Amino acid sequence: MARVLIVEARFYDHLNDMLIAGARAAIEEAGHQAEIVTVPGALEIPGAIALAAETGRYDAYVALGVVIRGETYHFEIVANESARGVMALTMDGLPIGNGILTTEDEAQAIRRADPGQLDKGGGAALAALAMLKLRERFA
């Protein structure tokens, strides 16, 4: 049984709840155990995963959050840098599923977060588990 850490940037509660529901369901249906840690925003997700990886307690990670375009350049910074940070960790060999949504508006975010629609939380969890399996294959 794998131990999967879900790292969520809790900013939009209702959207994060949907992402977490999808991720948790996918992890549990696959027979694994999920734990959740919350960080202030998407920029903190890679740092939290890096800190957790140092403990050796987790086998895989799921990054969850929602970044909705606003009126300033901040959207691009948060979207790009959180993705860059997660990608850097995956290149270091950590099995991570990236479920950080970057959308134009809340309607797009709802469609992607809802487990009954696109279920990007569940998809990110399945990606993390697939990468864990691949890492085990190559070990």
Annotated binding-site positions: 11, 42-44, 66-68, 71-72, 98, 112
At 8, is the secondary structure helix, strand, or coil? strand
DSSP string, 108-120: HHHHHH-TTTT-H
14 is catalytic: no
Binding site feature residues for (2S)-2-hydroxy-3-oxobutyl phosphate: 71-72, 112
Cα distance between residue 22 and residue 113, in whole Å? 8
Rg of the chain in Å (alpha carbons): 14
Q: Which of 3, 14, 57, 74 is catalytic?
A: 74
Binding site feature residues for 5-amino-6-(D-ribitylamino)uracil: 11, 42-44, 66-68, 98
**Which residues carry out catalysis?**
74
